[in-house]
Structure 1
Amino acid sequence: MTEQKMDADWLEFHPNPKVPDFKLPAGAVDAHCHVFGPSPEFPFAPERKYTPCNAGKAQLYALRDHLGFSRNVIVQATCHGKDNSAMVDACRSAGDLARGVASVGSDITHEELAEMHEAGVRGVRFNFVKRLVDATPKEVFIEIAEKIQDFGWSIVVYFEAADLEELEPFLKRLPGIIVVDHMGRPDVTKGVEHPDFQRFTLLMAENENIWTKVTCPERLTVAGPPYEDVVAYYRHIVDLFEDRVLWGTDWPHPNMKSHMPDDGALVDYILRIAPSAEQQHKLLVTNPTRLYWG
């Protein structure tokens, strides 16, 4: 099997991230990260919309130690489709220090779910970002959501702000805890008080089973580093819902073209979005521990 080459106009992850100035609390969790390959051991899916760099478990866990995290939640990336082998292998190799979020089809069996649960998987991901995946009927997702309830798993959903109005009825049908990636990718040029972002805030206020990740300023920013234009959005959500927020690096940052973030600087950014020690502990330790290790 031949090596699968990264898309030529995309950047590789930062080769030498700084040691963060912010000393993370004991037990801190990087609750949103990925493994890509390495291929050809773990080939990328034929139907993928992009080909990332190779970024395997050894590199992820070296970064974990470098930044000062204790544990990781590894989210299945669309470039691997529904072949969760790389993610499951990374979870198994880390023992109790990692949990996984899988991508599965409605044909997944109870036995297959049990095997993934034993490996450390604790959730599934539903992706609605049209440039990354082909459309899937919502009833398929409902069927999957019902199957995972026997294991107490949560559901990660990834969508963009423009699609929230259409998705709201579906999200309210889903059982269990739902975790929204990256605050539903708001348009940060519109302001926190804009109806679009207030729709997302109201969704969280009215549905206590909905959590979110205050992650990926490098994706949401228009101004670029140091991502000042995104701070108010994170602060708004953390201040209102500090018991239902998670944080992660998004390493190795797929699909980045304009710049590649320094993961050490991203850790320091936490101080700007969760300024109190209590908020930091909930964001980094209490909440992810309750959701993925509880």
Structure 2
Amino acid sequence: MPSDFEPTIPGPLEHPTPASYRPPAGACDSHCHVFGPAARFPFTASRTFTPPDVPVSDLMRLHRELGLDRAVIVQSACHGREYDVLVDALRVGDGRHRGVALIGLDTPVSVLEDLHREGVRGIRLQFMPHLGPAPTDDEILQYAALVEPLGWHLEIHVAGNGVLDRFEVINRIPTRVVLDHLGRVDLGDGLDAPAVHGLRQLLDTGNVWLKLSGTYRVSLTGSPYADANKLAAALAAHAPERVVWGTDFPHPNLHGPMPDDGILLDGIPEIVPDETKRHRLLVDNPTELFDFC
């Protein structure tokens, strides 16, 4: 492999710890990524990080081990706006995968329509400095207007008080909005912090959904992430009909121990103790949000 593709971030654990919890049939990992292989799907020259190869075959092996039947694959910034890697992963899924793409305001409608036919159902907007410039409020609304005819959602990736910083514009977005990774709020501010209150208010609009993913990115206590699971449990109880769960495999740009996906899966009963509501979290809600057949 060319030296230009030497990884600058670590890869995931090779195998998760066997989980005690077994998800129901049709369960969905609603947030995960694939990287390369770079020899086939080169990373974009403008990337801010270089991952190791984690192809779709690795992702599907993990899902077999965890007992997950469906997946939502979120395009990584390291691939820029090259869609071959995402389309390949969607086709390999044979209807069991959906996609979230990275686009520009100049992306032709014909390209969006092609991506829709392949299984893309949303776009991701980044507000993390290490992933590049963030869109302005006006640009956010332009993105919404671009994808609204397709019925796609806008996925918003913020951290800290980002939910509060973007609160007004999120309320103005006409399409569904999906907030990543529990909003990546700062748990050091407590479960009653203004950002957590903001999450609840957004969920109350009926137009905003939340991914109960990335607990390890929010936790201050570390594995098994009891503090983040407690936050996820409170938000899941607040809006059980608009939450989904995901691994965030292969856990890119992580500073600290690599999470064990078996432990993440075993956190689900702690987050949602009721079996009927867990079915909603893992099967019914993803089916509705991501348009699974």
TM-score by length of 2: 0.95
**AA of the residue aligned to 2:7:** M
Root-mean-square deviation over aligned CA pairs: 1.4
Deviation, 1:44, is: 1.3
Residues in 1 aligned to 2:123 and 2:193: alpha-carbon distance in whole angstroms = 31
Q: Residue 17 of structure 1 contacts residue 263 of structure 1 at CA under 8 Å; is this kept in 2?
A: yes
Q: Residue 203 of structure 2 contacts residue 242 of structure 2 at CA under 8 Å; is this kept in 1?
A: no
Match for residue 280 of structure 2? Answer: 282
Match for residue 43 of structure 1? Answer: 42
Corresponding residue to 1:254 among 252, 255, 260: 252
Q: Where in structure 1 are there 5+ consecutive unaligned residues?
A: none
Deviations 1:227-268 (A, max 9, x none): 112122111100010000010110000012310111111111
Match for residue 222 of structure 1? Answer: 220
Deviation, 1:219, is: 0.8
Q: Residue 15 of structure 2 contacts residue 62 of structure 2 at CA under 8 Å; is this kept in 1?
A: no
Deviation, 1:215, is: 1.0
Q: Residue 106 of structure 1 contacts residue 141 of structure 1 at CA under 8 Å; is this kept in 2?
A: no
Q: Residue 35 of structure 1 contacts residue 60 of structure 1 at CA under 8 Å; is this kept in 2?
A: yes
Match for residue 90 of structure 1? Answer: 89
SS of 1:53's equivalent in the other structure is: coil
TM-score by length of 1: 0.95
SS of 1:54's equivalent in the other structure is: coil
Q: Residue 48 of structure 1 contacts residue 78 of structure 1 at CA under 8 Å; is this kept in 2?
A: yes
Note the 1:174-253 alignment, pairs <5 A.
Answer: 174-205=173-204, 207-253=205-251
Note the 1:137-152 alignment, pairs <5 A.
Answer: 137-152=136-151
Match for residue 27 of structure 2? Answer: 28
Residues in 2 aligned to 1:67 and 1:244: alpha-carbon distance in whole angstroms = 23
Residues in 1 aligned to 2:39 and 2:275: alpha-carbon distance in whole angstroms = 43
Residues in 2 aligned to 1:182 and 1:188: alpha-carbon distance in whole angstroms = 13
Residues in 1 aligned to 2:81 and 2:136: alpha-carbon distance in whole angstroms = 16
Residues in 2 aligned to 1:2 and 1:208: alpha-carbon distance in whole angstroms = 48
Match for residue 106 of structure 2? Answer: 107
Distance 1:35 1:275, change over 3 A: same
Runs of 4+ residues deviating >3 angstroms = none
SS of 1:73's equivalent in the other structure is: strand
Deviations 1:141-186 (A, max 9, x none): 3222212122111111100132222211211221211000012111
SS of 1:37's equivalent in the other structure is: coil
Q: Residue 11 of structure 2 contacts residue 52 of structure 2 at CA under 8 Å; is this kept in 1?
A: yes
Q: Residue 11 of structure 1 contacts residue 259 of structure 1 at CA under 8 Å; is this kept in 2?
A: no
Deviation, 1:212, is: 0.4
Match for residue 262 of structure 2? Answer: 264
Q: Residue 124 of structure 1 contacts residue 155 of structure 1 at CA under 8 Å; is this kept in 2?
A: yes
Deviation, 1:204, is: 1.7
Identity %: 35
Deviations 1:3-31 (A, max 9, x none): 60111xx3220112122211110100000
Count residues with an aligned counterpart: 291
Deviations 1:265-293 (A, max 9, x none): 11111111011101210110000001112
**AA of the residue aligned to 2:158:** F
Match for residue 167 of structure 1? Answer: 166
Q: Residue 241 of structure 2 contacts residue 285 of structure 2 at CA under 8 Å; is this kept in 1?
A: yes
Residues in 2 aligned to 1:18 and 1:172: alpha-carbon distance in whole angstroms = 40
Q: Where in structure 2 are there 5+ consecutive unaligned residues?
A: none
Q: Residue 28 of structure 1 contacts residue 285 of structure 1 at CA under 8 Å; is this kept in 2?
A: yes
Residues in 2 aligned to 1:243 and 1:166: alpha-carbon distance in whole angstroms = 25
Q: Residue 48 of structure 1 contacts residue 80 of structure 1 at CA under 8 Å; is this kept in 2?
A: yes
SS of 2:178's equivalent in the other structure is: strand
Match for residue 5 of structure 1? Answer: 6
Which region of structure 1 is more displaced relative to structure 2, 84-93 or 136-145?
136-145
SS of 2:131's equivalent in the other structure is: coil
Match for residue 123 of structure 2? Answer: 124
